[in-house]
Copies of this chain bind each other. A is one copy, B any other.
């Protein structure tokens, strides 16, 4: 955190002046800053308390739910990240002895990933602390507000999913210029 910019020094919320007629944009910006605020704090605490990272924690959380293990693809889908990304995180967790990879008997292309005993124990500890942190961070929120927010966010998520499922006109796919040395 030593060098991290201090948002409290900024005169106001740079999320609030998007105009009155643009509630959806404002909603998005607020969602973003809210998530960012919590995420950064959790990331820092995970590093300080457990010498780990959010992606590692998230991956272990998914594995903890499925004792028999998950394939790389299933894991990637759950984490909503690319397969290539998952490869790297699993690699590091294996190096730390928290996770195990097993090549499938029936399909040699596919490998199953699962928590080791050490990994399961480590996750248990971290998960408890993690939830305590979340409770702490949202502690000021009334239970009724929490429930209402939960429900509205559910609706928002559904709305976005619906919109994403509806194919768009596909506006002239412009090729990338960058990405070539």
With known contacts A31-B153, A148-B152, A157-B37, A138–B5 Cβ distance under 8 A? no
Binds B, one of A18-26, A106-114, A117-125: A18-26
- CB of B156 within 8 A of CB of A27, answer no
Query: Can you list 28 A-B contacts with CB-CB less than 8 angstroms, sorted by A residue number?
Result: A3-B84, A4-B82, A5-B73, A5-B83, A5-B86, A6-B77, A7-B77, A7-B78, A24-B141, A24-B146, A25-B131, A25-B134, A25-B135, A28-B38, A28-B137, A30-B157, A31-B38, A32-B39, A37-B161, A40-B80, A41-B164, A49-B171, A51-B174, A51-B177, A138-B160, A148-B148, A148-B152, A149-B153
Verify if A159 is at the interface (C-beta below 8 Å from B): yes
Majority secondary structure, A binding face? helix
Interface size on A, residues (CB 8 A): 85
Please state if B138 and A24 are interface contacts (CB–CB under 8 Å).
yes
* A140 and B153 contact, Cβ closer than 8 Å, known pairs A5-B83, A51-B176: no
A interface residues with partner B (beta carbon < 8 Å): 3-10, 14, 17, 22-28, 30-41, 47-51, 62, 65, 73-74, 76-84, 86, 131, 134-141, 143, 145-150, 152-165, 168, 171, 173-174, 176-178
